[in-house]
Amino acid sequence: MTRAGKNILFRALLIGPALLAITVFMIIPLGLMAYISFRGRDYSGGVLWDQFTAEAYVRLFFESELDGTLALNFNYMYIILRSVWLSFLTMVISLAVGLPVAMFMATRDAKWKAVLVFMVTLPFWTNLLVRNYAWILLLRDHGIINSALLWLGIISEPLPLLHNSFAVAVGLTYSFLPFMVLPIYASLEKIDLRLVEASFDLYANRWQTIKRVILPLAFPGIVAGCVLVFVPALGAYITPELLGGGKTLMIGNLIGFQFGAARNWPFGAALGMFLLALVLTSLWLYARRYRGDLERLQ
């Protein structure tokens, strides 16, 4: 066998198995999902395999009236908009909280940096379900926060903290905050602190220094952090399920519902394609502009 031939065989044997596993059990299923999203719905819960239709996508925006005409239906659009809005809110809150934390971490000495990075990373590896459950204990009517406020006499009735958009936003921020802190920290870490001193020497005040020196340097990390928070928040399933209490649905729950009680696969597939398109568009916009920065951060 030639040297080049051997090289290709070697490559196929090493990379092949992992590539095959992801292709067969992820890429092909995603292809099947795209296919099913254009099939008809069998009301017994199955798929009409030989019927091509865009019905599932139409259903996202319209509903059929009794006389067969289509009328705008805001139910699903409302859930989609809520998902985008809550993810955006999560991103903004994470940024506001994450930026000073990253700044603090980046200005410590090497030993403290290692400890702080470890402490930020640690919760990410703990069970997401359990971390969201912990917020039920805090937010529910007889939970820690309401009990404390009642005891202090600040309120006389428990505040409705659980099972609403507020609870979902708190849970999403809690779940994905480390994804904001770490990339900003990575881009700030290399800052030469003398730049900040130079800025003060040139009569800039603190606010001007933040705006003109620190934010431009942190920018690649901020953008990466925003993407890393926004994308998983958009596809969240557990947080709205537990903290939204079945009332504050997001796209993920709507998809899940089509494979459970609703048994409408084509519609579930179409929603899946819609979420996939939203996520891939955000990533593509980001990659087109900041490709180099992303690779540097990894």
Partner 1 sequence: MKINPFRNRAFPGDARHWPGLFTATAAFFAYVYLPILILIALSFNENRTVTIWTGFSLDWYRMAFSNRDIVSAATNSLIIASVASVSATTLATLAALRMASNDRFLGKTGINAVFALPITVPEIVPAVATLMFFASLGFTFGLGTVIIGHIVFCIPFAYLPIRARLEGMDPKIGEAAADLYANPVQAFWRVTLPQLVPGILSGLVLAFIISLDDFVTTFFLGGAGSTTLPIYIFGLVRTGVTPEVNAISSLMLLLSLSLVSLSLFLGRDQNRKTGPD
Question: Considering the complex, what minimum distance in angstroms separates the CB of residue 200 from partner 1?
Answer: 3
154 SS3 class: coil
Footprint on residues 276-295 left by partner 1 (CB under 8 A): 276, 279, 283
Footprint on residues 26-85 left by partner 1 (CB under 8 A): 26-30, 32-33, 36
Question: Considering the complex, what minimum distance in angstroms separates the CB of residue 235 from partner 1?
Answer: 2
Q: Which is nearer to partner 1, 220 or 255 (by Cβ)?
A: 255
Footprint on residues 159-218 left by partner 1 (CB under 8 A): 174, 177-178, 181, 193, 196-201, 206, 209, 214
Q: Which is nearer to partner 1, 64 or 291 (by Cβ)?
A: 291
Q: Which is nearer to partner 1, 4 or 71 (by Cβ)?
A: 4
Q: Which is nearer to partner 1, 74 or 259 (by Cβ)?
A: 259
Q: Which is nearer to partner 1, 29 or 64 (by Cβ)?
A: 29
Footprint on residues 105-164 left by partner 1 (CB under 8 A): 105, 107-108, 116, 118-123, 125-131, 133-138, 140, 142-144, 147
Question: Considering the complex, what minimum distance in angstroms separates the CB of residue 173 from partner 1?
Answer: 9
